[in-house]
Structure 1
């Protein structure tokens, strides 16, 4: 009986774990730029990557401003607002990104 109960518990645990991993996160198209230079955020000093979702700006954790080129270049994040396809969630007023892809600039 103990073996049967143990096997049933193991299958239940595997089922719950599989359910958590298959839950897809929502892909969003968001504005992305320097939080300080373009979005007027003052919580941090310097230049940090931020996203704007539904009019609210959040600093990003999971990728950095310099991971995507020179932020201070003519077409950098400190000079322009771009769009990106992202997956992540807001936690403690910060956007925790698990996927980040810059979209081409519109001409």
Structure 2
């Protein structure tokens, strides 16, 4: 019997994504605490690169990633079920 596995490695360039806390907003459970994540085409991935607090207080009621989902233009790579960010520009 032959089992094939696809290794997910996809370059993302200048794509608009949703960015927020993976646990608080996207329902990711593989890590504890609050961690930055993106949602690309309906799938959520934790981010390697910037920290959740690099964009201000993650618990701010109006702009914090634990409280709201924000739009961002990103560049990076999907690798091993994670999104490795090379650049982020928040759009809102």
Higher relative contact order (CA 8 A, sep 6+): 2
Aligned to 2:34: 47
Structure 2 CA distance, aligned partners of 1:30 and 1:103? 10
Task: List runs of 5+ in structure 1 lacking aligned partners.
Answer: 1-24
CA positional deviation for 1:27: 1.0
Task: List runs of 5+ in structure 2 lacking aligned partners.
Answer: 1-11
RMSD: 1.3
What TM-score does the superposition give when structure 2 sets the normalisation length?
A: 0.84
Q: Which runs of 4+ in 1 moved over 3 A?
A: none
What TM-score does the superposition give when structure 1 sets the normalisation length?
A: 0.73
More helix by share: 1
More strand by share: 2
